[in-house]
Amino acid sequence: MSRPALDVLIVEDEMLLAIELEHLIEEAGCHPLGCAMSSDEAVALAERLKPDLALVDVHLSDGPTGVDVARKIADDCGGVALFMTANVKRLPDDFAGACGVIGKPYSEYGVRTALAFLVVCLSEGRAPGPVPVGLTLAPAYAQRWEAEDPLARSA
């Protein structure tokens, strides 16, 4: 069964990382919609393009505004944000409405497996299995998708 390709917005102010993410998104069978480097640009693109998923860094060219961007994407644009940040501790307890976080530095494999996992979660409303290593789901999304955290299992 073929799943619909996700439309993905990149919100990253480091151009080399944005280009790398664009290639990883394509390799995962998704459609990169574009890249925003600031919060205003990210919100404007999200409102216009209505991404299924936005990969959002916390610290953008205009400061630590990624949390606000994720909240606006979730509340106003109908999309889902995934944080990709070295500033994991800056995330609020509710993840600002985002589905989760991948901490930097991340691996190509980690991003690809997280995207494959999220494609199933977003298209089918359930997790296809345990959460991939390197991806941490927000508690609300872990519950919604009935996702199993492999690190939380007892031996």
73-82 residue pLDDT tens: 999 998 999 9
pLDDT of residue 71: 95
CATH of the domain at 116: 3.40.50.2300
pLDDT in tens, 1-56: 466 789 999 999 999 999 999 999 999 999 999 999 999 999 999 999 999 999 99
* 129 within domain boundaries: yes
String of DSSP letters for 11-26: E-S-HHHHHHHHHHHH
Tens digit of pLDDT for each residue in 60-95?
Answer: 999 999 999 999 999 999 899 999 999 898 899 999
Per the domain annotation, does 125 fall within a domain?
yes
The pTM is what? 0.92
Q: What DSSP character marks residue 109?
A: H
Residue 61 forms part of a structural domain: yes
For residues 108 and 24, is the Cβ–Cβ distance under 8 A? yes
Distance CA 88, CA 6 (A): 24
* pLDDT higher than 50, residue 154: no
* Domain of residue 12, residue span: 7-152
2, part of any domain: no
CB atoms within 10 A of CB 155: 2
SS3 144: helix
DSSP letter at 43 equals H
Q: What is the pLDDT of residue 155?
A: 39
Residue 58, in any domain of the structure: yes
Whether 38 is in a domain gets the answer yes
User: What's the pLDDT band for 153 if we cut at 50, 70, 90?
Assistant: very low
What is the pLDDT at residue 149?
Answer: 65
Q: Judge whether 1 lies within some domain.
A: no
Assigned domain for 68 exists: yes
Element of type H or E holding 139: helix 139-144
- Is the pLDDT reported for residue 145 higher than 60? yes
- Let me know: does 97 contact 77? Beta carbons within 8 Å: no
Q: What mean pLDDT, rounded, does the chain reach?
A: 91
**Helices (DSSP H) in 28-125: which residue ranges?**
39-49, 66-76, 108-124
What total of structural domains would you count in the chain? Answer: 1
